[in-house]
Each structure stands twice: as C-alpha cells, then as structure tokens.
Structure 1
Amino acid sequence: MTPQLIGSLGTPELLIIFAAIILIFGASKLPELARGSGRALRIFKAETKGLRDDDDTTPDELESREQRNDRDA
C-alpha cells in the first residue's frame, strides 16, 4: 500500500473498517486473533534473525550448533 492511500483514510473510514471487523469476527474473538498474530510475528522475527545469524557463521560453527541441538532434543 502506498503512503498516499493510507494518508487518505480519515477517522470515519477507520471507524467503519473497525466496525466491520467487529461484526465479522465478533468482539470476543478479537483478543484471540491479536494474540495469535503477535505470536506469529514473534516466531517470524526469530526465524529471520536465525537465518541472518546462519549467514554470518562458518560451516564448522553450524555443524557444532546442529550437534548441540540434536543432543538437547
């Protein structure tokens, strides 16, 4: 989405969108959806950080890390 599209949304539009979300999912499901989204984002962040760390390590370090993980499991 472009910043112009987001910038053109005013308070009435946001309230209509929020009301539609409440009608679709129900007020009792919103906290559960937010919690699940937060968990998914945390997992995604951890995995991408792990991938970056793997790019910075040598093959010997990766092998020793995998051996430690196998012992712990």
Structure 2
Amino acid sequence: MSNLGPTELIIIAVVVLLLFGAKRLPDTARALGQSLRLFKKETSNMKDDVEAPTVVTTQAEPVAPQQVTAATPSVEDRLRLLEEENRRLKAASEPTVNGAPAAQSQNDQRSS
C-alpha cells in the first residue's frame, strides 16, 4: 500500500514546490533539518540520563539532614512569579518613546 514509485514522488515534489515556492523551500528544509537534529540530540540525552549509572558515595560520618531555610513556593506563588516575569518581558519588548510606552505617549498627545 505504501509503495511509492517515481511518478508519485515527482508529483509530491511538484506539489511541495508549488506550496512553498522555490525561494522558501531551502529555508523550510534547513529548519526541518535543525528540528530533526535537535530532536535526535534531546532523545540521545534522555537515553544517556536513563542509562547513566547512579553514583553512590559512602561517608565516614553520618551527616545530619539539612534544615530547609526557605519554604518551597506553592503553585500559586510560582504562577504569580511567572505572570510578573511575563509582564516584565512584555513591557521590555514594547516600543517606547522617551522612556514611556509608545501607546501611552500617543494617548497623551491625543488628549492635549
């Protein structure tokens, strides 16, 4: 059922060429290759992590458990921190006029 002959491969190549165009086809192929390389690298890293032997060290004297000095942040705290970071990054990426956000300076000019 999946026997692709030369005619089918040529038809597929023509359709891909028509969809992406001759100019974008090399960029698309390059991006696909980079994605595959990244995928292979990550899967090999996962395999290495799974297959890596765990190192067990023995100590001469038992060590007292460390006391936790700061409480582990809750899920709500983590979400709040992520939202604050998202707002900060969004504000940093917005265009500014004389240090003020461009949208605010446009509103100021309209009101004057």
Normalised TM-score (structure 1): 0.66
Going from structure 1 to structure 2, the CA distance change for 1:59 and 1:26 (only over 3 Å counts) comes to farther
CA distance in 2 between counterparts of 1:49 and 1:13 reads 34
* Equivalent residue for 1:16, pick from 1, 6, 11: 11
Q: Partner amino acid for 1:56? A: E
Q: Partner amino acid for 1:48? A: T
Q: How many residues align?
A: 55
Deviation at 1:59, TM superposition (A): 6.5
Q: Deviations over 1:5-47 (max 9, x none)?
A: 1x2x222221111111111110111110110011011111110
**CA RMSD in angstroms, aligned pairs only:** 1.6
Gap regions ≥5 residues in structure 1:
61-73
* Equivalent residue for 1:30, pick from 25, 32, 51: 25
CA distance in 1 between counterparts of 2:40 and 2:50 reads 16
Q: Confirm or deny that 1:56 pairs with 2:51.
A: yes
Q: Deviations over 1:38-62 (max 9, x none)?
A: 10111111101110111122267xx
Alignment partner of 1:29: what SS? helix
**1 or 2 for the larger relative contact order (CA 8 Å, sep ≥6)?**
1
CA distance in 2 between counterparts of 1:39 and 1:59 reads 34
Residue of structure 2 equivalent to 1:70: none
Q: Percent identity?
A: 44
